[in-house]
Structure 1
Amino acid sequence: MASLETAAEHERILREIESTDTNCIGPTLRSVYDGQEHGLFMEKLDARIRNHDREIEKMCNHHFQGFVDSITELLKVRGEAQKLKSQVTETNRHLQENGKELTTSMEELRQCRVQQRNIATTIDKLTHCLPVLEMYSRLQEQMKAKRYYPALRTLEQLEQTCLPKAGQYRFCSIMAENIPKLRIQIRDTAMSQLRDFLESIRKHSDKIGETAMKQASIIWGMLFHGSAG
């Protein structure tokens, strides 16, 4: 009975030592040494210390294993991070290359659009210039064929309609400057040929010559009026 009480007392003292501040365990230890069973208490204390050592070791082993597992996971994460970094670097390289290709394509597209606008502008200008050239070619053919009255009409149309629509071009300016000269040339050539014709008629018939002179006066008036216009 006494040993059970002693064991219970020792257990109480051990719990008190475990749960009490070290500055306050003096009276507790004194009660142990005042008794007759302090040797038994020391055995219990050693057993309790060994038990706590095992608990501490177990706890350390548990946390150490967790630490090792964490390091292992960290190494795995590091490896994955390296792979991800390589993938990001490769993706960035592809983006840079594709970006350069896109920039080149956009520049080529811009140049194509500029060329397209230039072509459209050229076609528009040619649309206004071609009638001038066609009209001038017709004028030359009419003069070559000695069709002077149609030539005067063509010259008038060229001067008043075609050239103003064509715009400010060098060849248009030259044509405009030559129109008065061409008109005088047509008039003089027509009158010269008319005089030759009348002279030939006069040699054959005075009456025909008189009638022809009247017609010449009329034609002369028409030509002169056309040149003045």
Structure 2
Amino acid sequence: MNNRRTNCGNCQRVFPQMNIGSKYICQCSAEICSICGYTFHNDYTCFYYLTQCDFQIIDLQQQVSDPSLHAILQYYLNQVRVLFESGKGGGNLRFVRAQAIVNKPLEVRYAAKKACMAGQCGGRERVNEVFLWHGSAESNYNPIARDGLKVAGVDLPPGGQGYGLGIYSGNATTASGHTKGSKWLLLFQGMKGNNSPSTITTIPQLNNGQTHSFTAGDITVFFTKEQILPRYLIEFSN
């Protein structure tokens, strides 16, 4: 039996913390998240509301005495484990631990891009949001978490990108081949939008509003950095 409780962020009424990740309609008529108690949210994690910081990296396996916070940590840890297992693409990677990334400025930037892409794609439901993986050297992850991923050919040198300009992603196993010895991966939320029939090789084509990504097999290349929101850092072992 679940004895955990959460307070409505609108009226402070206490209610059972049930139906994890779903909407709870309080007696005050507020529609709130059944985990954190704040206004029900699709575009943000609970940590967006719970932290006072604009940027924070949160250990999902930390020990806490607050039952409500423990439930929130466990909810997102379980979510990451499921995404990791489903995203290995047949590889033999093993999950070790995970950290959640809270970055409020990037959340705002992502939401603005989503509104823009919704108009270009024919509705918010057609921006094609996915969770995908990116591998990099360990020293790069904190700057990525803070500032977002950069576009090869725009913010970074092209560097022999076989699928044109953009931000490269794939499944967890594919991404692990690009970590330069690191045992960490970035799991991000991205909007694939309208698929391009070919790679993009010139900068003006990247943000023309007609296409937003290119996919070839396991590889997806995103054309703008605003389409991507860093969500988690995951440590793995082979």
TM-score (norm 1): 0.21
Which has the higher relative contact order, 1 or 2, with Cα contacts under 8 A spaced 6 or more apart? 2
Higher strand share: 2
Higher helix share: 1
Q: Is the radius of gyration larger for structure 1 or structure 2?
A: 1
